[in-house]
Amino acid sequence: VLEDKLLVWKVKRGDKKALQRIYEKYKDDMLRIAAGLLTEPSAAEDAVHDVFINFIGALETFSLTGSLRGYLTTCVANRARNLNRSKTRHREVGLDRIETFDSRIPRPEQWLLDDEAFRQFCNAMAELPYGEREVVILRVQGQMKFSTIAAMQETSVKTVMSRYRYGITKLRSLLNGEVSK
């Protein structure tokens, strides 16, 4: 946390090395969180890139009150939720075709490289309802408290814990033997 506070302090003063350190420290985690939430690599890439851009844009007024990891995770989750809402709405009116990780066409310059285990992870997460997916990812990957997630989802801690339990059970079943390896 102290290192992050120092890094933010430096970035606010225009220190490029500090920004590079933040980027390298958190980009993989944020990409994993975004991919777990959105289950589509290109959307996850856009979400994470946008979060870093907005972080820079907000530097002038930004003040780190908790952990930087928590802040970035919350931004990614908010961005993912907006993108997911938009995608769901398009799907309802039949304007958008869902592209799963398996069916997508490789793009010329993708940030996330295709990988069997990662693809399996995205596909398994895609099977969970969004609410459960969000709780599992934010708890396990984002290390967030249930109460924080409940506030984000505007629901009770009890509901969040129940979503977590259901999500974990489903994931175990979906991933079959993979989780015990």
Partner 1 sequence: MRPTDQIKNYFKNVHVKTNPKVNRAILDDLLDRLDAAKGRRKHALQPNIWRRIMNHKATKPTTAAAAVLIAGAVIFSLLAAPGVTLADVIKPIFEAKTFAYDMHVGGEDHPAMRDLVSGNRIRRTMPDMPNMVLIIDTDAGKLLRLDTAGKNASIINISGEVERGGRNYIGFLRETITRLKADPNTVQKKPFYRQLDGRKVIGYTIGNDLEGKDRDRVTILADEKTGVPVQIDLEWGQENFVLKNMEFDIPVPEDQVSITAPAGYKMQKTDIDFSKLSDKDLIESLRVWATYLRDDGTFPPQLLKQEFIKQMPLFREKVGSLPIPDAEKEQLGKYYLQGMMFLQICYTGKMDSHYAGAGVKLGDAGKAIFWYRPKDAKTYRVIYGDLSVKDVAPENLPK
Binding site for partner 1 (CB under 8 A): 11, 14, 16, 19-20, 23, 27-29, 31-32, 35, 42, 45-46, 49-54, 56-60, 75, 78-79, 82, 85-86, 89-90, 107-113, 115, 117-118, 121, 136, 140-141, 168-169, 171-172, 175, 178-181
Angle, alpha carbons 176-83-49 (nearest 5°): 90
User: Cβ–Cβ contacts within 10 Å for residue 109, how many?
Assistant: 5
Q: Considering the complex, state which of residue 43 and residue 150 has its C-beta at the smaller distance from partner 1.
A: 43
**Dist CA 77 CA 99 (whole Å):** 20
Question: CB of 95: closest distance to partner 1 in angstroms?
Answer: 9
Q: Considering the complex, state which of residue 2 and residue 95 has its C-beta at the smaller distance from partner 1.
A: 95
Q: Considering the complex, state which of residue 89 and residue 158 has its C-beta at the smaller distance from partner 1.
A: 89
Q: Considering the complex, state which of residue 126 and residue 140 has its C-beta at the smaller distance from partner 1.
A: 140
Torsional sign, CA 109, 89, 51, 32: negative
Question: CB of 104: closest distance to partner 1 in angstroms?
Answer: 11
Question: CB of 64: closest distance to partner 1 in angstroms?
Answer: 14
- Write the DSSP string, 141-169: IS---HHHHHHHHTS-HHHHHHHHHHHHH
Question: CB of 149: closest distance to partner 1 in angstroms?
Answer: 15
**Dist CA 34 CA 32 (whole Å):** 6
Burial call 53-70: b when 16+ CB within 10 Å, e when fewer: eebeeeeeeeeeeeebbb
Q: Considering the complex, state which of residue 3 and residue 115 has its C-beta at the smaller distance from partner 1.
A: 115
Question: CB of 7: closest distance to partner 1 in angstroms?
Answer: 13
Task: Report whether 40 contacts 99 (CB < 8 A).
Answer: yes
